[in-house]
Structure 1
Amino acid sequence: MAKKQKRVLLALGWYDYRLHQGIEKYAQEHGWHLYADFAREKVIPWGWEGDGILAWLGAGDDLAEFVQTAKRPTVDFSLRRAQLKFPRVLEDHAHAAQLVAEHFLTRGFANFMFYSDADNWSYEERGQGFIKALAQTGHACTWLRWHQSPAFATGREEWKRKRNWLATQMKQATKPLAVFAASDQQALDVLESCERVGIKIPEEVAIVGAENYLLAPDAMQTPISSVDTNLEILGYRGAELLDQ
């Protein structure tokens, strides 16, 4: 009798094609039927019946409720909902932050900043890891948090206010300055804010982002460096764990 094909649902509240690629690779190697419609359409498949779920449980309460009520073996790639006791495969944010700290230190920087623009568990781990790695070498680091600043606003004014605030912070900072941004998009925010007030990149401010997901960094006039968190490997290992 032929072995029953395993049916696995991708329930990724946060999507990255590399995570999907890693899962897809494992699925092909082991003959899974992978349901990936949610990744494209964001329609929760209430009533779905299968054998397992690979989830990234982010901000959406409906998706978390669906995964809980489905009562299927589940692996979560996020720590956003730590109270849900699913097995997890997570990015090593502390290690990524240490690599960035070492990168800056080998280039002789003595002034450091971490920048984040939202309350996010992965940003917190990266920031804490960066500060800890620098502290071990006797260096201090300023943590710049847009979402906790007096200038913070949401709505139509947010984009403009954030860049004005960032430009002011970058202008006032002691240089040469090494900035680790919590994500590549936030690294781009820092870059654009520096350029608008005439700060030279990377001579005055060096910037590194995280996750390496800018699709065409070399096409930019000033390319951004980024630390790769190996999302494809993460996806493969998550699928492997679900199969145990």
Structure 2
Amino acid sequence: MATRLVQINMKARDDSALGGFWAKVLGWEVSSEGPGVTNLEPEGFVYPDPVAVCIDLVSSPEPKTVKNRVHVDLATTSVEHQAELVAHLRDLGATPADIGQGDVPWTVLADPEGNEFCVLDPRPRYRDTGPIAAVVVDCADPRAMARFWGAATDWVVHEVTDDSATLRSAKGVGPYLEFIRTADPKTVWNRVHLDVRPYPGDDLAAEAARLRALGATALDLDVPWMVLADPEGNEFCVLSPS
């Protein structure tokens, strides 16, 4: 058994407006599975497919109070493309964000609801990822996170150091999943979290039990899917197999 990273769940005060922003950023299509939910995926995309990690924006009245522990990095193809993309994003409503990054070659911005994201300088690693180069998770121990998420999913661990760890779909397509060491402790429920999905024919309860045996913790929420936390307390959802 294994799971696949299929989407990012992002809480939003106005899911429709924020979804419109991110659709323009990524060039993706907008749909909705119901009130208070806005779904984003590439045009012609057949869900689920590791070529892309989709985004679900879910309405929530709770305000953002701290820096998100999960964010996306956007890929660029040249220095000129990076500058053009940053200018385009600012025209769409993004604003500069200072998270203590100092003098770095990438640009840190915040979307209209304050969610931080990075526009990367051009890097060969991300030339075939699509618009999202990486989904990035802050953590205290990248090695431990690589062990857990490498076993929890069928994604391949590419690089691991004391400061970072990198995974990607076993098919070698789509964005990377990266864990970056940070000294900031987790203090609140993550407004942005990962959603994973088992394969067709797998048993949801059995898969959740396997993840708990790997070090995940069950969270008691009244929803039709499983909500767990990884070994560092980052919430994630285990969706129904499909």
TM-score of the aligned structures, taking structure 1 as reference length: 0.28
* Higher relative helix content: 1
TM-score of the aligned structures, taking structure 2 as reference length: 0.29
